[in-house]
């Protein structure tokens, strides 16, 4: 018995064949070409799935996709990373073309599931996955199961308000003072540009900070402080056993993990401080595909 | 088959006998007299339980108690409302004295369970209960089951940071800028005293506001704004289907519910605004006892 996992990215479409142990036994990758429209991309998916179906007994298909989307209705709503894909009934379309049951969730949730089951959070009863990249997202896995939320918006912590001041920064589509506007890779790059004239984004700030530049370090300290508030707020809301932190910004994890841990600890009830566990993600770019495979289970 | 629920309060000890439908069929109430120590109070509990055991087949005992406590080890840690109760192995002691399995959780979690199963949240797949009283607490019920969290601290949203400014108010034992310090009944009363010289707490602020006093209304607006940030942050973290709001402050719910709903909505991703549901608690003081009965199930 096999399952198929699909990592539908803005750039690449990855399709994996998974055995019962959740291991990838075959893998396909091609450009998504999302600009050619849903019908074209979904036909490409169906073609590969149907070819795999001829050779193996396939149980179900899981898809991780950029959000917003509705995991219950299987509809992609209007992702910034899939331009022109508006209210696409992806699950319905793919089920018709393949005859297989299809499960859709957003890419951060898929990655959360992968890290919780097979990655850095493996063995923990509850895992909150946080990805800090161009945006900030997350996913919550409780007793081995993804918590999707009533409208599928569990883990949308990029929009958590961590600074209610009227002059707090407001990123596009976000609350004023939202975590993503203050602590994402994009935010670090923006502030680096404003204060230090850096033009190569967060990477430039990390480089300067690792060379001992104080102004760059201050930018990181501020972002880490907001991330710590975000994590502490999650602890006091659902008290997960383990945090797993992934995303592009974690390429500089030696500058982030330790101060993030110390800061978050300070913001917890004293009785919770010694139990705080923050781990770096383990599966990297593979998390989305592996998680999609797990969604199919 | 019956279960027993115990609402261990700082003032009163309530014990209920529950039938299989979760209805209270017998109820006992007496002063807790917690100052006489755990042994004395636990003996009182055991006496009533053993008398009930002689007449009925009892399956298990559930207890809702002020926190902090460890629900997994069944130990009461050091609740401000049970002075001198330090690291009391309540579950162990009561199991020995009664021969019945005992389940302990904090009072807000017990109330959350009651409201989710039999109260205002009945029928919803996920309920986040928030109590706004002298303090602010909560509980999260997912698919009919209480989520306790890794250290039993799920729902401790009173310590959620909603204002990170260095000059934000810091309540005792709380983070600077924590929700409880800015929006609890105690907080509303404290600010009423500072700004308006009110000496009868939140009640005084509510009275003035309902008479049209602008300064009192402003105090409520600020508290409601912080509560709205708290609820929106919970939505973007776990996206519950329904919020149920209880606690003493809800005696003035006509001044709170509507503006809280409108404010919270503004802080949500547009796609989530129409799905927001905030309901007033239904079981009032009974929630703790009923929840304790459900804990035993």
Express each pLDDT in B149-180 by its tens digit.
999 999 999 999 999 999 999 999 899 999 99
Other CB atoms within a 10 A radius of the CB of residue B212 amount to: 8
Interval A201-227: pLDDT, tens: 999 999 999 999 999 999 999 999 999
User: Rounded mean pLDDT of A101-127?
Assistant: 97
List CB contacts (< 8 A) between B237 and chain A.
Answer: 140, 154-157, 160, 233-234, 237-238
**A-chain residue closest to B233, CA distance:** A160
- Is residue B134 domain-shared with residue B100, that is, in the same domain? no
Range of the domain at B167: 120-280
User: What integer pLDDT is reported at residue A67 of this predicted model?
Assistant: 87
Q: Are residues B248 and B271 in the same domain?
A: yes
What is the pLDDT tens value at each position of chain B, 297 positions in all? 899 999 999 999 999 999 998 899 999 999 999 999 999 999 999 999 999 999 999 999 999 999 889 999 999 998 888 989 999 999 999 999 999 999 999 999 999 999 999 999 999 999 999 999 999 999 999 999 999 999 999 999 999 999 999 999 999 989 999 999 999 999 999 999 999 999 999 999 999 999 999 999 999 999 999 999 999 999 999 999 999 999 999 999 999 999 999 999 999 999 899 999 999 999 988 999 999 999 998
> Do A236 and A167 belong together in one domain?
yes
User: How close is the nearest chain B Cα to the Cα of A160, in Å?
Assistant: 5
Give yes or no: residues A161 and A260 share one domain.
yes
| Binary contact (B154, A269; C-beta < 8 A) | no
Q: Is the pLDDT of residue A285 over 90?
A: no
pLDDT of residue A272: 94
Q: Where residue A8 sits, what CATH number does that domain have? A: 3.30.420.40
Identify the CA nearest to A255 among candidates A214, A215, A221, A204: A221
**Do residue B46 and residue B142 come from a single domain?**
no
Which residue in B163, B238, B268 is closest to A154 by CB distance? B238
Residue B113 lies in a domain: no
Distance from CA of A171 to the nearest CA of B (A): 13
Separation between Cα atoms, residue B41 and residue B65, nearest integer Å: 13
State yes or no: pLDDT of A297 exceeds 90.
Answer: no
Indicate if A44 and A77 belong to the same structural domain: yes
Same domain, A38 and A103: yes
Q: Are residues B164 and B91 in the same domain?
A: no
Cis ω before A68 (30° cut-off from 0): yes
Mutation site for A-interface testing, chosen from B70, B105, B161 by largest number of A Cβ within 10 Å: B161
Of B150, B161, B269, the CB nearest to A239: B150
The closest CB to that of A156, out of B164, B225, B236, belongs to B236
The contacts of residue A165 (CB under 8 Å, 6+ apart) are A177, B165
SS3 sequence of B161-208: ECCCCCCCCECCCCCECEHHHHHCHHHHHHHHHHHHCCCCHHHHHHHH
> Omega before B68 cis (within 30°)?
yes
Max Cα–Cα distance, chain B, nearest Å: 60
How many distinct structural domains can be found in chain A?
2
Which positions in chain A touch B153 (Cβ < 8 Å)? 235-236, 239, 269, 271-272
Which residues are paired to A102 by β-bridges? A61
- Kind plus residue range of the DSSP H or E element containing A94: helix A90-98
Q: Point out the residue among A147, A163, A226 whose CB comes nearest to the CB of B238.
A: A147
> Nearest CA to A114 among A143, A137, A146, A74?
A146
Question: What value does the mean pLDDT take over residues A234-263?
Answer: 96
Kindly give the residue spans of alpha helices, DSSP state H, lying in chain B. 38-55, 90-98, 107-117, 179-183, 185-196, 201-210, 214-238, 253-266, 270-273, 286-295
Whether B114 is covered by a domain: the verdict is no
Is B153 among the domain residues? yes
Q: In this structure, what token pair is assigned to residue B220?
A: 């409520």
Residue contact B275–A147, C-beta within 8 A: no
Residues paired with residue A170 on neighbouring β-strands, in sequence order: A176
The answer to whether residue A261 is domain-embedded is yes
Instruction: Say yes or no to pLDDT of A76 above 90.
Output: yes
In this structure, the answer to whether residues B135 and B15 fall within a common structural domain is: no
pLDDT computed for residue B12 by the predictor? 94
Could you read off the pLDDT of A24-58 as tens digits, one per residue? 999 999 999 999 999 999 999 999 999 999 999 99
CB B16 within 8 A of CB B4: yes
| pLDDT score for A119 | 97
Minimal Cα–Cα distance from A238 to chain B, Å?
4
Together in a domain, B254 and B290: no
On whether both A159 and A274 belong to a single domain, the answer is yes
> Could you give the ipTM of this predicted complex?
0.95
Taking CB atoms and an 8 Å limit, are A162 and B157 in contact across chains? no
pLDDT, tens digit, 9 for 90 and up, residues A136-173: 999 999 999 999 999 999 999 999 999 999 999 999 88
Classify residue B276: in a domain, yes or no.
Answer: yes
- Confirm whether A204 is domain-assigned: yes
A-chain residues within 8 Å CB-CB of B235? 153
User: Residue A295 has what pLDDT?
Assistant: 95
**Closest CA of chain B from A276, distance in Å:** 10
Q: With CB atoms and an 8 Å threshold, state whether B159 touches A269.
A: yes
B161/A163 Cβ within 8 A: no
Please answer yes or no on whether B155 and A271 come within 8 Å at the CB atom: no
Chain A, nearest residue to B152 by Cα? A239
Contact between A237 and B241 using a beta-carbon 8 Å cutoff: no
Same domain, A148 and A85: no
Cβ of B233 within 8 Å of Cβ of A267? The answer is: no
The distance between the two most distant Cα atoms of chain A, rounded to a whole number of Å, is 60
Please report, for residues A216, A275, B72, the alpha-carbon distance to residue A239 in angstroms, rounded to integers and kept in the order given: 32, 10, 14
pLDDT in tens, A222-231: 999 999 999 9
C-alpha neighbours within 13 Å on the C-beta side of residue A293: 26
- What sign does the dihedral B106-B108-B110-B112 (CA atoms) show? negative
Q: Name the band, by pLDDT with cuts 50, 70 and 90, for residue A81.
A: confident
Q: How far apart are CA A188 and CA A44, in angstroms?
A: 37
* Rounded Cα distance, A130 and A226, in Å: 13
């Amino acid at each position: 018995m096999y399952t198929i996992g699909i990592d539908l990215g803005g750039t690449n479409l990855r399709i994996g064949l998974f055995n019962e142990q959740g291991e990838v036994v075959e893998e396909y990758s091609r450009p998504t070409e999302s600009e050619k429209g849903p019908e074209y991309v979904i036909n490409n998916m169906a073609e590969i799935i149907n070819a795999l179906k001829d050779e193996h007994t396939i149980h179900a298909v899981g898809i991780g996709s950029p959000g917003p989307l509705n995991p219950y209705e299987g509809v992609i709503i209007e992702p910034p990373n899939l331009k022109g894909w508006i209210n696409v009934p992806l699950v319905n379309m793919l089920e018709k073309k393949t005859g297989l049951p299809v499960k859709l969730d957003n890419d951060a949730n898929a990655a959360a599931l992968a890290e919780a089951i097979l990655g850095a959070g493996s063995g923990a009863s509850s895992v909150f996955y946080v990805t800090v990249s161009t945006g900030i997202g997350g996913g919550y896995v409780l007793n081995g199961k993804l918590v999707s939320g009533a409208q599928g918006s569990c883990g949308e912590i990029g929009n958590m308000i961590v600074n209610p001041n009227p002059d707090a920064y407001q990123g596009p589509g976000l609350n004023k003072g939202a975590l993503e506007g203050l602590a994402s890779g994009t935010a670090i790059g923006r502030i680096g540009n404003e204060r230090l004239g850096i033009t190569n984004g967060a990477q430039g700030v990390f480089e300067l900070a690792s060379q001992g530049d104080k102004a760059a370090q201050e930018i990181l300290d501020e972002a880490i402080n907001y991330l710590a508030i975000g994590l502490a707020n999650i602890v006091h809301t659902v008290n997960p056993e383990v945090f797993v932190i992934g995303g592009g910004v974690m390429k500089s994890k030696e500058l982030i993990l330790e101060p993030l841990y110390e800061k978050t600890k300070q913001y917890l009830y004293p009785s919770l401080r010694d139990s705080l566990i923050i781990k770096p993600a383990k599966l990297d770019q593979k998390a989305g595909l592996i998680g999609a495979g797990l969604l199919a289970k």
